[in-house]
């Protein structure tokens, strides 16, 4: 029976409490995204039981109703009719949701948005510094060579000009001109100012001072600070936006940039810099105290709690602390061992589950996820396995606590942030043995505890099919004509196939939108997995729905939360209602741009009506090429 879109929209509207409890509404490929005045007034159970609503959850201040591809847009149109609301962009909904969140969460999110995009530059520089230093120690003659000099220059650049990188990223986040932001960052580390790292050894009377407006302004740079830069650029964006609104358009191009830079620079050097650099010093001293307090007890507590901050999505706040530590005169990140011990422990717990489990699907999720965690990417292990079974998560927290304690006792320091696990050896060269002990202890305790504490439920152990059979079934056979007629779906892109449960998104991983798989792409191109018709496309070009033979309804969703990129980095080659052939190009995307924006490029390939088929079977895991068989139906 066809879904009654108007009835669904009307029931949603009434359950939400009517227009007085609604702020804005938008939709993506699968979800109705709403911002409400007060979620506590809503009967969530009743909302979930509405025909057409597959799930309800709240995330980042948005109430998200999972409806499904090809359906959500129709329900959304009816929802606008019944509510009398105007269509909103996802950016407007995102802004409205952010405004309704507690100020603490907004601050953490803003900091994460600023520091995550510059992570590739920091990681590249940190790893290069580690490699150059390692070569210098292994080959003494190399340490004094021209090659060492130029490579050392390249490695240090990101950290030397870190305030500029932060300023550009902050201007993007706060909605200002990124080039004006860069100017503010460069003013704060201008070579005419005394280098902040050399001021500590000088007497106060030796520091030159400007006397302006009756106030003294010290001629000191901010090479050792990051928070003052973020605050300064936030202020700059506020000033720039105010000027754009009040300066006549005919002189806006000249007046607004000039006044924005001048006013911001004076406020920064005279007020923001001195106040917040002092405040940041206290924050860093407090973080260092936490790590070392009670002979490492503080570090042990943080090592245990670290995975929970990942679950809550607030772990990016540590980037601010780590960046501050690296920018300080010592240039050592002592927070890294805590994160590394916690992440490695979660990977060990996940591996124990993978080796102990009899269920083929659990193994196929856990073992690759544990390898990912060992390399520093823990979301698949935490969300796909440990959090799902709970006990492995707790065992990993114990192992992480023990490893973090040792890291504090050994006083391990790193030369970068954003790198943990096995790659961490490259940024902890002065503590190689100690770091190895930290990882070994974290791994051993977590693995052993999980092995003895976690027991597979009977229903989970029911599927004991052999991996070899799955591999055999995954082989692509037959002609193109056979592919078109077969009751199967073929891979729409090249990459690494992971189980649905390992997709780092709760909605996709839970199966509420249908069964399927995830693909970690190697090439940014999506093709049609069979002959069919385009059922839906998104205005942000990151997802497409396609209907094929046997009434298969497939959603191909590129990346996690990539709706927030508003189409940047995506190119769509088809339109709704268009007939397509197997292997035909549907869309292209820039993997590096997705990752630079702080999102995962993992692509969900879901059969949204999988419940209509008595036998849905995934026949491919691991590396896949385009048009290899992924799953079959009966």
Q: Looking at the annotation, which residues are catalytic? A: 28, 557
Rg (the chain; Cα; Å): 27
DSSP designation for 386:
I
CA distance 372 to 423: 11
- CA 586 – CA 358 distance, rounded (Å): 38
* Cα–Cα nearest to 163, from 323, 321, 290: 323
Alpha helices in 313-359 (DSSP H): 317-327, 336-356
The first and second tokens of residue 454, run together, are 């976690």
What does the block give as tokens for 115?
């520091």
- Give the separation between CA 176 and CA 233, rounded to whole angstroms: 8
The strand pair at 55-59 and 62-66 is best described as antiparallel
Residue 271 φ then ψ, to 5°: -130, -60
Query: What residue ranges in 392-521 does DSSP mark as E strands?
Result: 488-490, 495-499, 515-521
Q: What number of other Cβ atoms are within 10 A of residue 330's Cβ?
A: 12
> What is the C-alpha to C-alpha distance for residues 111 and 173, in angstroms, rounded to an integer?
9
**Tokens 């007060």, residue located:** 38
Provide the edge-to-edge strand list for the sheet that holds 55-59. 22-27, 31-36, 62-66, 55-59
Q: At what angle do helices 178-188 and 227-246 cross, to 10 degrees?
A: 140
Which residues are CB-contacts of 498 (< 8 A; sequence separation ≥ 6)?
Answer: 364, 365, 368, 369, 380, 517, 518, 519, 520, 602, 621
Residue 161 structure tokens = 């000009």
Spatial distance between the Cα atoms of 124 and 156, rounded to a whole number of angstroms = 10
| 566 secondary structure, DSSP code | T
For the four alpha carbons of 350, 356, 361 and 364, in that order, the dihedral sign comes to: positive
Asked if 163 contacts 185 with a C-beta cutoff of 8 angstroms, the reply is yes
| Residue 360: HSE in the Cβ half-sphere, 13 Å Cα cutoff | 14
Among residues 443, 527, 435, which one has the least CA distance to residue 480? Answer: 527
Would you say the C-alpha torsion 559, 560, 562, 563 has a positive or negative sign? Answer: positive
């Amino acid at each position: 029976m066809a879904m009654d879109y108007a009835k669904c929209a009307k029931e949603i509207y009434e359950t939400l409490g009517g227009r007085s409890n609604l702020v804005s509404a938008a939709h993506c490929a699968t979800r109705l995204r709403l911002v409400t005045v007060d979620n506590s007034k809503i009967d969530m159970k009743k909302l979930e039981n509405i025909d057409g609503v597959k799930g309800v959850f709240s995330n980042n201040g948005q109430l998200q109703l999972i409806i499904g591809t090809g359906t959500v847009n129709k329900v959304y149109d009816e929802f606008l009719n019944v509510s009398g609301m105007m269509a909103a962009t996802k950016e407007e909904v995102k802004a409205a949701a952010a405004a309704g969140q507690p100020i603490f969460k907004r601050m953490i999110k803003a900091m994460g948005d600023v520091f995550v995009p510059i992570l590739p530059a920091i990681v590249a520089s940190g790893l290069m510094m580690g490699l150059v230093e390692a070569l210098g120690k292994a080959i003494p003659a190399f340490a004094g060579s021209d090659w060492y000099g130029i490579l050392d220059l390249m490695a240090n650049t990101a950290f030397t000009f870190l305030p500029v990188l932060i300023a550009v990223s902050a201007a993007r986040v706060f909605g200002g001109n990124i080039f004006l932001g860069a100017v503010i960052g460069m003013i704060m580390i201008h070579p005419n100012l005394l280098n902040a790292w050399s001021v500590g050894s000088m007497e106060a009377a030796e520091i030159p001072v400007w006397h302006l407006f009756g106030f003294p302004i010290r001629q000191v740079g901010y090479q050792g600070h990051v928070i003052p830069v973020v605050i300064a650029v936030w202020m700059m964006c506020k000033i720039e936006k105010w000027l754009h609104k009040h300066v006549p358009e005919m002189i806006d191009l000249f007046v607004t940039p000039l006044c924005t830079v001048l006013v911001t620079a004076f406020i920064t050097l005279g007020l923001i810099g001195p106040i917040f650099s002092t405040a940041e010093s206290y924050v860093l001293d407090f973080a260092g105290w936490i790590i070392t307090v009670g002979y490492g007890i503080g570090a042990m507590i943080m090592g245990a709690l670290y995975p929970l901050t990942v679950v809550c999505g607030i772990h990016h706040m540590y980037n601010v602390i780590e960046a501050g530590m690296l920018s300080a005169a010592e240039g050592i990140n002592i927070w890294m061992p805590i994160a590394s011990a916690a992440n490695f422990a979660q990977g060990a717990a996940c591996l124990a589950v993978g080796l102990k489990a009899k269920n083929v699907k659990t193994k196929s999720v856990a073992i690759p996820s544990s390898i990912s965690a060992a390399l520093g990417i823990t979301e698949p292990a935490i969300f796909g396995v440990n959090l799902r079974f709970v006990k492995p998560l707790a065992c990993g927290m114990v192992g992480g606590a023990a490893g973090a304690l040792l890291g504090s006792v050994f006083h391990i320091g790193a030369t970068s942030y954003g790198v943990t696990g096995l790659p961490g050896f490259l940024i902890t060269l002065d503590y190689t043995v100690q770091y190895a002990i930290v990882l070994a202890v974290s791994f051993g305790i977590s693995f052993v505890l999980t092995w003895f504490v976690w027991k597979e439920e009977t229903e989970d152990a029911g599927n004991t099919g052999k991996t070899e059979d799955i591999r055999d079934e995954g082989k692509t056979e037959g002609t193109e004509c056979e592919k078109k007629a077969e009751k199967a779906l073929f891979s729409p892109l090249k990459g690494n196939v992971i189980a649905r449960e390992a997709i780092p998104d709760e909605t996709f991983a839970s199966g509420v939108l249908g069964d399927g798989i995830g693909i970690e792409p190697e090439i940014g191109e999506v093709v049609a997995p069979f002959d069919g018709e385009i059922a839906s496309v998104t205005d942000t070009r990151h997802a497409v729905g396609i209907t094929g033979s046997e009434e298969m309804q497939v959603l191909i969703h590129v990346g996690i939360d990539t709706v927030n990129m508003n189409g940047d980095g995506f190119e769509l080659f088809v339109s709704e209602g268009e007939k397509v052939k197997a292997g035909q190009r549907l869309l292209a995307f820039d993997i590096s741009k997705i990752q630079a924006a702080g999102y995962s490029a993992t692509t969900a390939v879901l059969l949204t009506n999988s419940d209509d088929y008595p036998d849905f079977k995934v026949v491919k895991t691991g590396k896949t090429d385009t048009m290899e068989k992924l799953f079959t139906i009966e």
